[in-house]
Amino acid sequence: MAKGFNKMPGMGGQGGMMQQLQRLQQQMAEAQEKLAQETVSATAGGGAVKVTMTGDQHCQSVEIDPELLKDADAEMLQDLVLTAVNLALDKSRELQQQVMGPLAGGLPF
């Protein structure tokens, strides 16, 4: 090939762009692994119900104070569990935003 004809028009910087994309993909995979290992906890009812969740929104545990069960109010227990789960999800999403946000340029997840 003649000198200067070994590149296609418009393809000049794609090698560097591909490397950047591969680095970003690796960083995102590492961030996702980190999120899967980190946990957040939330409580409801003054600590009577505690939910622990990973940074990738998997519920790890639900703890209920045995004293709460003595009253046997199922509706109240359901409300407390629901509240604790939703608070833990919010915290998990905040953690995800902190870890993934810089990589995604601030895009919401």
CATH (residue range 30-100): 3.30.1310.10
Number of H helices, E strands in the chain: 3, 3
Can you give the pLDDT at residue 4?
52
Alpha-carbon distance of 67 to 83, in angstroms, equals: 18
**Confidence at residue 108, expressed as pLDDT on a 0 to 100 scale:** 47
Mean pLDDT by 10 residues, the chain (109 residues): 52 73 84 88 94 91 90 87 95 88 61
The domains of the chain are located at: 30-100
Does the global pTM surpass 0.85? Answer: no
Count of other CB atoms within 10 angstroms of residue 82? 13
Question: What pLDDT is attached to residue 100?
Answer: 81
